[in-house]
Structures are given as C-alpha cells and as structure tokens.
Structure 1
Amino acid sequence: MRGWRRSGKTGKIQHLGTQLIVFFMAVSIIVFSLATYLLYTFMLGLIKEQNEKLLYQQFQQIDHNIHNLISDVDRLSKLFLLDNNVQSYIQSNDTRSQLENIDLKKDIYGRIANFISNYSYIHSIYIISDANGALGGDATRTLVHSDRAWTDSFFQSEGYERAKQSFPNLTVEGGMTESYYNPYINGEQDGRLISLIRGVRALYDSQTSATLIFNMDEQYLASTYSASLDMAEGNMYIVNADGQIISGSSPDSVGQQSPYLPPAHETAAFGSYDAVKNGDPIQIVYYKLQDSDWYMMREVPLGLFSQQIFSVQRIMLLVFGLSILVIFGVSYFSLRRMIRPLHLLAHKMRDVSKGDLGVTFTDIPNNEFGTVMRRFNEMSLSIVELLRHNNEIQENKRKLEIEALQYQINPHFLYNTLNMIRWMASMVKADNIVNSVVALGNILRPVFASKDSMCTLRDELNYLENYIKIINFRFNSTIQFEFDVEPDMLNYRIPRFILQPVIENSIKFGREEGEGIEISIEVHEDGQDLWISVIDSGTGFDPQRREQLNARLAAGESYEPTHQSHPDRPEADTGTGVGLYNVNKRIQLYFGQDYGLHVPQVPMGAEVTIRLPKMVESPQQDRLDDYRPAE
C-alpha cells in the first residue's frame, strides 16, 4: 500500500515563511532591476531626443551662417563683375593688342588681390573666359592659363554644366582642390576648396562668355561650425549628394566617402538613427542645408549619454539598496505575522496526528486562514463524532451477535426432533403435518448450514417460498406469493433474512381477518444500487403512520421489542423479535445511512422498498469486507 513519503531534507528553506520572503525578495529584485533598465532606456531616449533638439537648433544656426556666407560671396561676385576691366576681359569680341591684354590681366589680378585681402573667407578667384582662357589666383599665387586643352576639360565638367544651367544664379560645389584650378600646385600645398561658381556675360552680350569662380578655404567653412566642437563629442561634417565629405571637423576625412548617409527613403530634412563605429554605438544626426543638396552630419557617441546616466544610476542603486533593506525588514515581520495562523494550524494538525482528538481554535482571524481554521474545527469535532458513531455501531453489532448466540439451538437435536415428528405424522397419515415439518426443515437448513451473514437473492427467495408454504397451512392457502426477478440478478448478494420480516409484516397487519392477500416481489437495478420492492394487496398504511414510519426508518431507530411502550408501531413482531426497524438497522449497520427501508405512497395496498448496494459473491464470504460491488 502506497503512503505519504516525507522528504529527508528539513532545511530552513522549506518553511513557508522563509519561502515567501525569498520569493518576495526575488520578485522585488527582478522588478527593481527591470525598472532600472526601463528607466535607463527611457532616460537614454530622452537625452537623445534632447540632443537632437539641441543639434537641430545648432544646425539651423550653422545653416544660417553658411547661407549668409554664400550670400556675401554672391554679392561680392556681382560687385566684382561690375569692374570695367573684368567686363572687358569677358567680352567675346577681343580687339585688344597683346600689350593691352597684359595690362588688363594685371589690373584684374590687382582687383582679385584686393578682394582676397579685404575678405578673409575668400581664398582665391578665377575667371575662365571662353576666348581668353583662365585668369586668377590666391593671395600668393597668380594663374594666367590659356591652354585650350585645360579650358576644354573645364567646360566639360559637371560644375560648369550646373553653373551654366543655373545662370544667373550662383552654384556651390564641394570637394574641389587648389590643384584643380592651378595645375602648378601639388603635394602639401594642395588644399581643399569650396567653389562658388556662376556663369557670367558682358553687360551687352546676350550669352554667357565666361565662368566666375570664388573659392573658400574648406577649413574656413569648417571653422564656422567646429570651433566650439570637442572632438571627444564626435565628428561633424558636410556631405554632398554623392556621399562625399566636402567639409569636416576632422581634416583627414575631407574628400573621403562618408560611411553614414541619410536614409535613402527619408524625405525629412532632419532626423537621426543609431549606428556602430569601431564597435561603439553612436547616434547619427543629419540636416539638409537650404542652399544646396548637401547634408550636415553629426556623429554622437552614446557613451556621452551613458556618463550622464551613470551618475543618476549610482543614486538609483543607492536608493535601490536601501529600498531592498526596508522591503526585507517590513516583509519579514509582516509575512511572519500573516502566516502565524498557518504555523498554529500545523501544530494543531501534528497534535491530531498524535491522537489528541477534538482540539480546536478559539482565536480565529477574519480572513482565508480563519476559514481554514473553522473547517479544521469542524473536521476535528467530526472525527470525534465519527469515532463515537463507529463505536456505537460496533456496540450494536456486538449486541446483535450476543442475541444471535442466545437463540442458537443445537442443529442435530432440532433435526432429529423434526424427523421424529415427521415419521409419527406419517404413521397416522397426517400428510399436512408431514409437509409442514418438511417445509420447516427447509427453512431452518440455511440457518444452520452457513454462518455467513450474506446470501444470494436466489437463496433468500427459496427461503421465502418455504416460509409461505408453512404460513398457508395456517391460513388455509389464502396467501398468494410471486416474484419478478431477472435471472442474472439472482446471484446478487444481500443480507440474510431481510425479506421474511417484511413479508410477515404484510401478512400480520395487512391481511384482514378471513381474507386472503397477494404478495409480490419486484427487483430492479439503478446504477450501483439494487432495489427490492415488496408489494401487497392488504389494507396499507394511513398517511400519518406512513410518514412517522419513514421518519424513524430514515433516522435509523433500533427495534424495541416491548410493544406496550410503543403502541403506534404495529410493524413490531413480538413473536419473532424481528421487524421492519431491525431489518432497516441491520442494513444501515452494514452499508451506511444511504441504504435501508422506505415506505412509498401507493394507491392501493402497501409497498416497502429496500435499497441495497449491488454485490457479487467473492471467494471468501466470512466477512462483509470481502464482498465487492457488482461491475
């Protein structure tokens, strides 16, 4: 037989209070950790958003400065074109002599030098005439270039085409070098330029005849936005439509292809996204400049934000640690107080398991533990009541056994006596006495043949047939008896001698003087129950007596043989000492309060129903526990 197995480990962690505290602390740590992570993520997003807003304002200011710078160059280029010498140089119908051309170019270069010296953001100025070639220079170098091959290559460049298409407006080109305009510059002297190009014509010409180029040093442009920029805070640069860096806070990156570009599907002029550079996360912020198709780009290391957040996190960790200590202390004492009723319940249950029955709680809280304690009180008291009831049942069984022993008769003596009476009756030819003695012998045979308290339904019906035969000798065959039982039900086991007292009760109190009576037995199954109905055609029960009888049968009252003390119990058979009460009590002692006798209301006669559990014969029949229910 399997039983409960107790674990060999009895550590403190098995105590419910400890488990609850550990669980509560674990949940608190998980929740606080998750909250810290979410707060970190939220703060990082918030700082990134604020950084975007700050950069947006900064980009707007840079865009405004660049726009003003380009506007100034545009104004200066227009002013430069108004010079008479410049107008003369760009005219397509050149009628000057060679000496006049030399003087003209000298005057123009003086004009260029004057502009460069007065405006520091102008690095160099070049005029490329369709007829006269290239002229220009910077503060230290002069270029007079009339090579047709070079001018033809310039007139085929994209910058020239854009300037021609944008006439008379100024176009801005990035990624240019000094050597592009002056082939005599190379090596370390070569620098990066931002070119502002426009197609020009003489005042009285209808078509463009030259190209005017104002160049700015890329470093000057970079200084407008990188002067206050700390390199540790990330790079800032400008890329053109091809993704080439044309200006940047890091000079080494100028002219290279940018690894980060605005998303191709983005149409917004401002935005950001996250990327990785050298294994470190960065934020890329971009802004479209208004005077060109250039984008201002900014690489912001997210580590800068983390440093700001870490200071807040340190405070949070301190608060977190203090909170855990407070929660631990409060939860320890609170949970200990909350589960105290459970500890008391466990102690009480151990007392019950040691045999201390009937223990109860007096101080019951008004919560779920209180409900459990009340159920425990009910269970403890019900165990005491159940033991008392079982003891009472055993005592009643003992009394029944004693009564049975008191009425035991030596079977050999009884059989010999009956046999002698039968032969004496045969000698005087008293056949009715012979038949009566034979029937009586058949009745007594099962009494002495087996000590089993159970018998088959077939044996019980055979016993009733012999009993009716004897009764009919007395009442001149006025008792008609029949039964309706399916053959497969005859093998069901029932308590022995439970039908004869019911039949006897019908004959004695249902039969009118001088009249006959019909008695029938019907048997049917209902689930795991067997129902036996004893029906007679007698006088029946009046309603009040039937209700009283059913109430006493349901209560399991015992039979009391003193008829005078209970004159309202006509079913008591003082001759045999067995009646309806005793049959009902026997059944309930065997099978419980759900089984027994009941007297239903019928239109005519009387009916007594007997409810029994279906049982079949088992190999051993000397104990009631050995019987098993029918399948």
Structure 2
Amino acid sequence: MSPFSRQPWKISTFLYLLLFVAVVVPIGFISAVLLQAYKQDLLQQTTERTQQTVRAIAYTAEQEIAKAVTFAAAVGMDQEVLGRATTIHRASDDSRQQVTSELLKTLDKYGLSMAGHVQAIQFVFKGGGTYSYLKDLKIPEASLRNASWYRKTRDDPDRVHFLGMQSDVLYGLTDNRSIAAAISPSLLQGMHEVEMLYVLFSRDAFESLLRQNPYSRSSPMAIVGRDGSMIASSSMTDGAKRPRELTARMFAGREGTYVDRPDRTGTLYAYASIGSSDWRVVYEIPYREVTANYEKIFRFAMGATVLIILLFLIIAFYFAHRITKPIQLLVIKMSRVVQGNLNAKIEAAGSREMVTIGQTFNHMMDQIKRLIREREEEEQAKHKAEFAALQAQINPHFLINTLNAIRLMALISKADNIHGMTHALIRLLSSSFNRGGSLTSIADEIENLCQYIYIMETRFGSKFEVRWDVEEETKRLYVLKLLLQPILENCIVHGLAGRNDGGIIHIAAQAEDRALAIAISDNGSGMTAEQIGAFERQSQTGAFSGMGIHNVHQRIQLHYGASYGLRIEPLAEGTAFRLRVPVLAHGDEAEQSAGHEHGAMAASPAPSASSVSPSGPPRQSFDAHPAARSAVSAAFQAPVKKDHADIKNDH
C-alpha cells in the first residue's frame, strides 16, 4: 500500500469527531449567538432608558429656565419696581435710603419664589448709571453696554432674552459662573428711566436637578452649551470643554445617542436639547458600565456552557469508549486468530449488541475449531481406511510368489483350470497392490473386474452373464482402487446365489454434470427393505464393514465429501448399486485426496486382447473339481475376511 494512500479512520476517532461537530460546535455557536443577541438587547434597553432619563432632565431644566424667564419678566414688567428704581437713580444721597429700602422689600418678595437662586439684579439706566441688587457687577458699565446681547435685547423691548451662562460678572461669589437673563422695559410700562434689567441666577437649581437622577462619579450628567462649555454638572466639577467633534455631533440633532469607541475604554453619550435654548443635557456612561451586566451574564453563561460541554463530553466519551472498546478488543482477537491463535475468546460485556457480537465470535471460534477437529478426524479416518486396505493386502509379495509357485505346479501337473485361475488371480492382485497411489483408471478397474469375473466363472461355472455399457471417454477417468470389485462380488455371491443359470450383471459408466455415475445391477434375489435400511443407518453412523459395500461408500465420502457415495435401489428383479464420484482426470494421489479435479495424465491402457473385453467378454467355463474350486475360493476370500475383522477392530 502506498504511504500516501488514505487510511480508514478508527471508529473512536469518528465518534469523537462526530461528538465535537454535532455537540460542541452547535452549543458554542448557539451560546455565542444568544449572548450576542442579549448584548444587543441590553444595549438597546440601556440606551432607551438613558435617553428617557436625559429627556426627562431636559424637560425639567426647561422648566427651571422658564422660571428664571418668568422671574425676569415679572420684575421687568413691574411698574412699581421700575418706578422706585428710577426714583433711586434720580434721588440724592439723603433721600435715596428710604426708596432703596422699599425697592429691596419688593424685590425680596420676588426672590422668595426663586428660593434664593437669584444672585443679582442689575438696573441699567438710560443716559448712564446702574443700580445693583444683592451683588455688584465686576464688568464696567461701558463693557456691559457694548455687549452684543445688550444691543439685541434693547432693540427687542418687553421680551426676556435668556442669555445662558455668564462668567466672572459678579463680585463676592465662589462660583464665578452665573445664569443670566435680560429684559428691556418699554415706556409702556410707565414713566421710568430703566433701559435694561440684567438678572443673574446661580447654577444650583440645575446642578440639584442633575444630582437627583441616578449617576455615579464615572457616569456624570451635565448641561453644556454650543461651544462645549459646561453649564452644570452632577459631578460637582466644571471640567473641560467637550471635544469639538462630540459637541458638533450632539448639536446636530435635538436628541440621540453616540458611542465613541465600542470597547471597555469607550463612552456612551445620550443627549437631549433643553427647550428653545442652545443647551444640551448630556449623559456620559462608560461603556464598561453599560456592558457590566452583560459581562457578568457572559462569564456565567460561558462558564455554564463550558461546564455542560465538558460534562457532556465526559459522559459521551465514556459511552463511546464503552462502545469502541469491545470493537477494538474484537479487532485484537481477530488479529490473533489471523496469526493462528484459535483459542482467542472475547469476554461478552457492554451493550446487548456487543454481548451478542462477543458470543457470536466465541461461537464462531468454537465452530472453526470443531470443523478443524472434524477435518482432522476425517483425515485420520481416511488414513486408517487406507492403512486398513493396505493391511488387508497382507504381504502382496509373499502372496503373489506363492500363487506363482502354485501356477507353476499346475502347469507341470497340466492342470489348466488351476493354472488359468491362478494366473488371473495373480494379475488381479498385481494390478491392485503393486501400483503406487490410491487411484486407478476406469480402464484398469475394468481389467481387474474382468480378471475377477474369470475367477468367479471358474469357481461357480458359467451361470451368469456380464453386460458392459461403459462410455469410451470415461475410461480415462480415475477412481479409488478396489471400488467396484466388492460390489461385483456382492452381486455374484449374494445377488445371484439362488440362480443356477440366467444370471445377468449389468455394468454401466457415464460422465454427468461434474460427476461420474457408475451402476452395477443384477437380476438376482434382491435386498429387503430392512437390509437397505440397515445399510443406510450404518452409512450415517460411519461404521465400516470390511471390504464390502459399506467400505466402498465410506471410502468415497471420506475422500470426496457427503455429496458423493453409494446408493442402493431395489429393482423389480434384483438390485442396483449406483455410485457417484467426482470426475477425476488426473492420477496424482496427493491432489486427488485434497479434492482437486484438474490436470491431465494419460490413462492406463485398456485391458489387453487376451483379457476379457468390456464390450462383450466371452463366456468362459470349465469343469473343475469341486475341491479345487473351493481351495481357490478360500485362498481368495481369506484375506478379505481378515481385513474385515481388522477394520472393525480399528474403528
């Protein structure tokens, strides 16, 4: 595999990534969105409340200005006040004292309505001269008359002009700033010489007004003029002028809000105009105070979110680990199985599904070991059967040498029947025992059957006929050795035992769908249902019965599996034995035992011309002495009986 090829993810990695994407990211995103929405809502609510507060202060400040204007108008329109002031201006020093006392009493009555906020009232007379009530002016009379507001007020008589803040105009004040209003009484107010009434008020009323609202040292509320100067402040300090940019923004509209820097060092400004004056009520709130509650909520929400996420991840990782751990254990156990350790077991634990997987894995391993054990047992049984077959051969060299000696003795004694029968038995035994491997070709097996038929005809006489129906292409195929001889023997010895003549044995072979079908039938006495049932039961239990038909069936199944074997069918007259074996075109015993069905090897040659022809063997018969026939039969059957007993003892 290329080092750059993509490796599949572990299921634990996938689950952890899924938890992060499906839980942590959404929760974090939702928390951030909610907190941002809360922040915007908090800012909006704070801004609206601040604006309402500023608007209320502006309205109250307008009422205070209206009171000052009303006071100035009342004094300026009072003919008694104007007349007495004119009398004081005209009177000599001796007579002025009484008039002054009366004027002060009248003005004191007006001053009661202002609760001591009046600092001074300056009367400016036509043609020159002034009179001061309460405090004296610092500024010269000429400077006063040359002021722009003076000329403007004089040109607009009987109307109070609110002048706003005036600085350093009176003596004897710790606060050198005052609120001023002026009115120029016309002659319609009576005969008088008062040209201008200049009224000065303290800023106490406005500062008291500002102090009555929620504020802190860091959040001052102030009244400022158009030039940025401070008229009044809740912080008890005058402070410097506001920046030009801020002042221009505040005086661009009648009310509004403005944030200079939306961070912890910034400030929220809320402002509103005071009536028709050039003043603005300004509320300055540090941005950190506006967002103080939000930051508390933010810290709490983020802490709770992180805690919930951590708690959820711990629980989720725990369950993910509970899920992935059995899977990882299963992978480890399977790796050990791949390495050859078939004793690997999984302790069934976890969820129901994982317990089922563990139990299934353990059951699978038990099944694998059972199948391997059965396979080994089958191999052992096959080897035992082969060994038993070899054991049944006794000592083929000794037997063949003995038969050769008998054949020579018969030749010397001119006993042709004994000589011929011994010669056929030698060829039969040589073909079966002296060739290597457990397989033989169909042609060789037919030759062996021909030799056996010659022996049996010599033994029993010509009381039966053999008919052959073997397809030519099947002669090159291979089968197990000694596979057909026990069945043919059963047909002759048992099937035709009750017939003296007219016995027919039919031998057929043909290739079917990947299988070779061989049928051997007789027209003898047949088998009962109990005998066939006993054969089937014995086949299912796996018991052997020497070199007989059970041995044939068991050898086929041991070599090729349960889909092949021997089947017995009763006929109307006699019995049919049908064999089904795989099509084997190769004679290599190792490959055939492993179940391979390919390769090619030249088949053994067909029986020679001197042998019995499978297409129509000549009927041979001879009148041998019964004792000689019995001796030959005993010599042939003795090894079979011994092998039968040995195989039973082995199994």
Larger relative contact order (Cα-Cα within 8 Å, sequence gap ≥ 6): 2
User: Computing the radius of gyration over CA atoms, which structure comes out larger, 1 or 2?
Assistant: 2
Normalised to the residue count of structure 2, the TM-score between the two structures is 0.46
